[in-house]
């Protein structure tokens, strides 16, 4: 009966449009009252869920990414990607994906990527004859790359949800090859769709221009190396690297590019505060919800249930992926990571799946959910930038979904894609 109250309350509130944090919090509170536990325990779990030092990296990376967007670093990365990839079939589509890959190595946020890159690329693509649905599809799916390329906020949340026992440096490293593979698959799909629709290509500007744009983009590219290299080498933690990213971004935009005004700085700071408040409220409420799942022994019951269905790891991973893809269409990513990690991680580990490998599977899977209605935050952002209804984009997004599912399958069933690079640094 406890599970009926927990999930029933959650689903009922979700269906009537209640914000996800309140769905999780109220469902947890109702279940605790039914169990006769002290109601204070919900607030204790909420507080302990956000009182984690590693979580400080998330607002700092968000702030650093916003500083770079408003300080012109994102625009320079787009210009560099345009000079290299613009001459390919569907040139601006290729540029969009390449720019998302570069900017993802700075922002770590799919929503920030969709907003920044979409704001720069979608108007240009519309102006040069590209279908607006194509521009939105490329932008939204390309933004998922930011979830895999370090510094990924969601990799940090996964590590914390797993009890803090999984190395964030290993997770950052494990996402690089899948991120590049996903970018390549999207670029191939963008080329195929553009070729069928007869979209234009851009003129190759010449190696001299490419080199000049590369020089102007170096400060932004250096930050990628600082973040990854520092964390991977152990010079500083993920939280410390996020603080360094803010200082570096501020100095570059203020002293090198001289494009940061006091007003831009205040707007970036307020945007980071709002985003952080929303994220931490969701994380705290999801922590209370996840604690109740563990208290009610849901992970143990799920392991026994799946073992009764099949002992084949291939079948188990397939079922877990299907469940996660379904859940990702209804819930945002951060609460899902916190809720599902304690449930599914013991299951996959019982079948010999490496927890770092599963982290990449989980993040990529739920990232696809960010581009899937009814709660597809990234797709909504891209459609808002393009000013089109979400269903206009949905009618032609299927080739890009297909590429994402293929990469998810490869990452799931070929562990070396995720685990090879971390093994190199051991």
Q: Cα separation of 244 and 277, whole Å?
A: 21
Confidence label for 58 from pLDDT (cuts 50, 70 and 90) = confident
Between 191 and 260, name the one with better pLDDT.
191
Confidence label for 361 from pLDDT (cuts 50, 70 and 90) = very high
Over residues 350-379, the mean pLDDT reads 86
Over residues 261-267, the mean pLDDT reads 80
Return mean pLDDT, the chain. Answer: 81
Give the Å distances, CA to CA, from 75 to 35, 96, 340, 417: 54, 11, 37, 31
118, 72 Cβ separation under 8 angstroms? no
In this predicted structure, the answer to whether residue 176 has a pLDDT above a threshold of 70 is: yes
Q: Is the dihedral of CA 110, 57, 359, 373 positive or negative?
A: negative
Instruction: Write down the pLDDT at residue 375.
Output: 64
The residue ranges of DSSP E strands in 248-339, in sequence order, are none
pTM: 0.81
Instruction: Write down the pLDDT at residue 278.
Output: 74
In this predicted structure, the answer to whether residue 226 has a pLDDT above a threshold of 80 is: no
Over residues 156-166, the mean pLDDT reads 84
Instruction: Write down the pLDDT at residue 105.
Output: 61
For the chain, the farthest-separated pair of C-alpha atoms sits apart, in whole angstroms, at 72
Confidence label for 426 from pLDDT (cuts 50, 70 and 90) = low
Between 387 and 354, name the one with better pLDDT.
354
Q: Is the dihedral of CA 244, 247, 251, 254 positive or negative?
A: positive
In this predicted structure, the answer to whether residue 242 has a pLDDT above a threshold of 90 is: no
Instruction: Write down the pLDDT at residue 412.
Output: 94
User: Which residue in the block uniquely carries the two structure tokens 């916003």?
Assistant: 66
Return the closest-CA partner of residue 368 out of 135, 90, 182, 112: 182
Over residues 234-239, the mean pLDDT reads 74
Which of 224-238, 334-348, 406-420 is most confident? 406-420
Instruction: Write down the pLDDT at residue 184.
Output: 92
Instruction: Write down the pLDDT at residue 6.
Output: 83
Buried (b) or exposed (e) across 147-158, using 16+ Cβ within 10 A? bbbbbbbbbbbb
Return the closest-CA partner of residue 186 out of 119, 98, 108: 98
Stated as kind and residue range, the H or E segment containing 106 is: helix 91-107
Ordered alpha helix ranges (H), 206-261: 207-233, 238-251
In this predicted structure, the answer to whether residue 147 has a pLDDT above a threshold of 90 is: no
Between 225 and 167, name the one with better pLDDT.
167
pLDDT digits (tens, 9 = 90+) for 315-349: 889 988 988 888 887 777 878 888 888 888 888 88
Instruction: Write down the pLDDT at residue 333.
Output: 80
Instruction: Write down the pLDDT at residue 404.
Output: 93
Over residues 198-217, the mean pLDDT reads 80
Sequence length of the chain is 426
193, 92 Cβ separation under 8 angstroms? no
CB-based contacts of 67: which residues, under 8 Å, 6+ apart? 246, 249, 250, 253, 260, 265, 268
Confidence label for 107 from pLDDT (cuts 50, 70 and 90) = low
Confidence label for 108 from pLDDT (cuts 50, 70 and 90) = low
**CB-based burial of residue 107 (10 Å sphere; 0-12 exposed, 13-18 middle, 19+ buried)?**
buried
Per-domain boundaries in the chain? 53-291+298-424
In this predicted structure, the answer to whether residue 399 has a pLDDT above a threshold of 70 is: yes
241, 226 Cβ separation under 8 angstroms? yes
Q: Cα separation of 168 and 191, whole Å?
A: 34
């Amino acid at each position: 009966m406890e599970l009926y109250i927990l999930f029933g309350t959650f689903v009922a509130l979700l269906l009537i449009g209640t914000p996800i944090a309140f769905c999780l919090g109220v469902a947890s509170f109702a279940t605790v009252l039914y169990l006769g536990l002290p109601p204070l325990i919900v607030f204790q779990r909420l507080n302990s869920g956000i009182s984690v030092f590693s979580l400080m990296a998330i607002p700092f990376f968000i702030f650093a990414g916003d500083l770079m967007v408003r300080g012109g670093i994102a625009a320079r990365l787009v210009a560099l990607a345009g000079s290299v990839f613009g001459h390919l079939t569907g040139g601006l589509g290729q540029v969009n994906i390449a720019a998302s890959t570069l900017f993802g190595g700075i922002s770590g946020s799919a929503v920030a990527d969709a907003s920044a890159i979409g704001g720069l690329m979608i108007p240009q693509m519309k102006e040069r004859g590209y279908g607006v649905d194509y521009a939105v599809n490329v932008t939204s799916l390309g933004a998922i790359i930011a979830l895999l390329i370090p510094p990924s906020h969601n990799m940090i949340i996964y590590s914390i949800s797993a009890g803090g026992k999984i190395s964030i440096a290993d997770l950052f490293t494990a996402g690089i090859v899948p991120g590049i593979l996903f970018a390549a698959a999207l670029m191939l799909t963008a080329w195929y769709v553009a070729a069928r629709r007869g979209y234009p290509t851009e003129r190759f500007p010449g190696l001299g221009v490419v080199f000049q744009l590369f020089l102007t983009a170096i400060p932004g590219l250096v930050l990628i190396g600082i973040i990854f290299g520092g964390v991977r080498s152990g010079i500083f933690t993920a939280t410390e690297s996020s603080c360094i990213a803010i200082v570096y971004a501020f100095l570059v935009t203020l002293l090198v590019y001289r494009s940061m005004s006091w007003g831009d700085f205040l707007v970036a700071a307020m945007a980071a505060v709002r985003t952080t408040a929303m994220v931490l409220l969701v994380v705290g409420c999801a922590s209370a919800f996840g604690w109740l799942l563990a208290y009610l022994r849901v992970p143990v019951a799920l392991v026994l249930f799946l073992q009764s269905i099949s002992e084949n790891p291939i079948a188990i991973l397939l079922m877990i992926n299907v469940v996660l893809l379904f859940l990702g269409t209804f819930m945002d990513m951060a609460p899902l990571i916190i809720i599902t990690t304690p449930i599914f991680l013991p299951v996959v580990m019982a079948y010999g799946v490496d927890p770092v490998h599963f982290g990449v599977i989980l993040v990529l899977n739920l990232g696809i959910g960010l581009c899937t209605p009814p709660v597809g935050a990234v797709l909504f952002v891209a459609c808002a930038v393009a000013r089109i209804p979400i269903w206009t984009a949905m009618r032609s997004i299927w080739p890009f979904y297909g590429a994402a599912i293929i990469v998810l399958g490869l990452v799931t069933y070929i562990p070396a894609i995720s685990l090879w690079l971390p093994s190199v640094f051991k």
